[in-house]
Amino acid sequence: MLEQSQSDRDQRGNRLIAFFRGFLRSPDQVGSVVPSSRFLERRLVRLAEVSDAHCVVELGPGVGGTTRALLEAMPADSRLLTIELDPKFAEMLEEIGDPRLVSHAGSAADLGEILAAHGLPAPDAVVSGIPFSTMPRAIGDAVLEAVRDQLRPGGVFVAYQFRGHVGRMGREVLGPPQVEFEPLNVPPMRFFRWVRP
């Protein structure tokens, strides 16, 4: 048990280092200097309603903290597709070793093509940690439109962000969001949630 705990600590330390290196390599693609907290992960799982989902998509999973939390909450027969722009992060996600996980290196704007390429259905939930505040507006709009077009009716989209750009952008594509705040994350995080009619 002690060996496993040390191994877990070593893996977490390696993920933290990789995350920080990713931030230094591409600060406009990584939304924070530190990975998400367990408080953020719990709120994300609850808002995205993944415990009943058959197909979930995670945009911008980074080094996989939120990915692991989603997998822990998802049913045994579900699938989780992660779409990560940074190929090094996407490669790290494959090390999770969960057969439900499909890791894809690419752009979230290509969501429809990526789902089709992996033979996955319309998702019940899409969650996003990608920093909408630092990407070109045209790309942000394309991501939001892809999410709107691919979510199943009644599906949920949850974006967690430090800033409020996605709320304003999403209002034009998805309508007004439900907004929650997680003060115990570093930095404190806003959650924007939409349900497709």
Determine how many CB atoms are found less than 10 A away from the CB of residue 37. Answer: 15
Extract the tokens encoding 192.
Answer: 């924007």
Poorest-pLDDT segment among 5-9, 91-95, 166-170 = 5-9
pLDDT of 96 > 60? The answer is yes
Q: What is the pLDDT of residues 71-88, one digit of tens each?
A: 999 999 999 999 999 999
What is the arithmetic mean of pLDDT over 1-9? 49
pLDDT of 14 > 60? The answer is no
**Confidence band for 186, pLDDT divided at 50, 70 and 90:** confident
> Can you state the angle between helices 38-48 and 65-73, rounded to 10 degrees?
50
Pairing of strands 55-59, 125-128: parallel
CB-based burial label for 154 (10 Å; 0-12, 13-18, 19+)? exposed
Q: Residue 106 and residue 60: Cα distance in Å, rounded?
A: 10
Phi, psi (degrees; rounded to nearest 5) at 179? -125, 135
For residue 14, what are the domain limits? 2-195
Write down the residue that tokens 């995080």 correspond to: 189
> Are the C-beta atoms of residues 195 and 126 closer than 8 Å to each other?
no
Total domain count for the chain?
Answer: 1
- Res 25: pLDDT: 46
Residue 121 or residue 28, greater confidence: 121
CA diameter of the chain: 51
- Res 7: pLDDT: 53
Supply the DSSP symbol for 97: -
The CATH number linked to 182 is 3.40.50.150
pLDDT of 27 > 80? The answer is no
Write down the residue that tokens 């995205």 correspond to: 48
